[in-house]
Amino acid sequence: MTIETFLFFTFSFFALISSLMVIILKNAVHSVLFLILVFCNIVSLLILLGAEFLSFMLLIVYVGAIAVLFLFVVMMLNVKVNLSSLNSISLIPLGIIIFGTLFYQFDLIIQEFYIYKSAYQQPTIIHWLVEENLLSNIKVIGNVLYTNYSVLFLLSSLILLIAMIGVIVLTMHQRTDVKKQLIEKQLIRSSAGVVKFITLRK
């Protein structure tokens, strides 16, 4: 067994265990942390299989944005579920229906792409020492993106910038019933009227 095959089965095993921990754990924060671990293992598998661009996009989008957003939302909301009111036995029929539906779709995908015939073959692992001097798919996609589709790339970035500015403007609520400090008036006021002496009764 080569080091690439060992890493492939290792990342697959940890991805499977982490995905099971996501649905088994009752703490939402721990589930999100294991979900991030699932994404990291899948990214490692994609890198081993030679899909560098897809793996980095998965890492940036899901781990860097969505999973971290889930984590912050769960930690800020601090949702406390009363576990005594949950009946796990009543969820078994729903789980069986969902599992059967997903397994049927998975079986159709396997039959469509003839994965049964190549199930016992050696997985295609990229030897990075051999591929060091060759063009990777990141370089090829970047070359095409910044040359042939440069105008579309700049237009999409401009649309994202306008959307970001629009969100900032919409979230800035200007309230008229709030007293605000006017720094310029505070600086030009006379020092004689700042302190007022009053006589207190004994």
Give per-residue pLDDT as tens, 111-138.
776 555 554 555 555 565 666 666 777 7
Q: Model confidence over 4-19: pLDDT tens digits?
A: 788 888 988 999 899 8
pLDDT > 90 fraction of the chain, expressed in percent and rounded = 5
For residue 57, count CB atoms less than 10 angstroms from its CB and return exposed for 0-12, middle for 13-18, buried for 19 or more: middle
pLDDT score of 83 more than 70: no
Rounded CA gap, 154 and 167, in Å?
Answer: 20
Is the CA virtual torsion 107, 66, 150, 165 positive or negative?
positive
- Main-chain phi, psi angles of 180, to 5 degrees: -115, 155
Q: Please, which residues have CB within 8 angstroms of residue 52's CB and are 6 or more apart in sequence? A: 46, 136, 137, 138
Q: What is the pTM of this model?
A: 0.54
- The pLDDT value recorded for residue 86 is 58
Q: Return the H-helix or E-strand segment holding 166.
A: helix 150-171
